[in-house]
Amino acid sequence: SLAYSNILAEWLTSNKQSRVYIPEEPFPHAALVRGGRLKHFSSISLDSFNTEFKTPCIVFTGHPSLRFGDIVHLIELWGNSSNNLIVFTEPDFPYMEALSPYQPLAMRVVYCPIDTSLNFSQANKLLRDLKPKNLIIPQSYTTPPPLLKHRTDLVIDCEATVFSYKRNNVIKLPIKRCFERIDIESDVKSLPQLASNLLPVEVRSGVSIATVTGTLMAKDNKFKLQKLTKSQMHELTSESPTHTLPPINYTW
């Protein structure tokens, strides 16, 4: 990822983008790596890592739970010395609970949460740049806080059509799409695949249709049509004995 940061410039500021096309690195870490001041390793199990690292050490938590990943080994390796330091940067994670399995712990602990959320000024600037047609936000973002009614800067100001909501509210959105794209199951691991069992019939030149019976799965606003399994068929018929399933294949 350090190498890619010097060539993938589309997400950089214009000043750093210009450095990509001239003999100059956009980030200072490239010079540190070239000079041997910054070292990076693909795994802590490498012999080069064990010979290169020196104590005292500062550890930035990878996963804030401290339950898996390289951080588990690093705490066991350096946790017995107060000269070492562990830094937590995740604002929404109880770091004292994360440290509880490692107690007693001699290494020092610093909690420096980094809040990556947008403030109102940044959000309004982003909306001006993106120019969305519709915007869905909590109702609390449309009016100043009750105790700071004069702070009109603490609201979302957008020229788009705004749909605000409260907790447990149901809102209607002006989505006029009549069709959705659906992927048909074709995974080799799930034989027989639904796609391979379709029997298209040509109704006119260049136009073929096929009927299908399956299970429609919806996840993350994506739709996938899967083949009915035997357990699903049994479940459907057992819930309603009088209910008959549509045929897998239709005859024209």
Q: In sequence order, what DSSP letters do the residues of 220-243 get, joined into one string?
A: TTEEEEEPPPHHHHHHHHHH-TT-
Alpha helices in 119-173 (DSSP H): 120-130
In this structure, of 45-54, 100-109, 149-158, the range with the lowest mean pLDDT score is 45-54
Q: What is the mean pLDDT of residues 183-188?
A: 70
Mean per-residue pLDDT of the chain: 80
Q: What is the mean pLDDT of residues 179-192?
A: 69
Please state whether the predicted TM-score (pTM) of the whole model is above 0.85. Answer: no
Q: How confident is the model at residue 175 (pLDDT cuts 50, 70, 90)?
A: confident
Say if residues 139 and 164 touch (Cβ distance below 8 Å).
Answer: yes
Angle, CA 123 vertex, CA 12 and CA 175 arms, to 5°: 105
Q: How confident is the model at residue 191 (pLDDT cuts 50, 70, 90)?
A: very low
- CA 101 to chain centroid, in Å, comes to 28
Q: How confident is the model at residue 85 (pLDDT cuts 50, 70, 90)?
A: very high
CA 228, CA 213: separation in Å to the nearest integer?
8
CA 228, CA 99: separation in Å to the nearest integer?
47
Q: Which residue has the higher pLDDT, 109 or 19?
A: 109
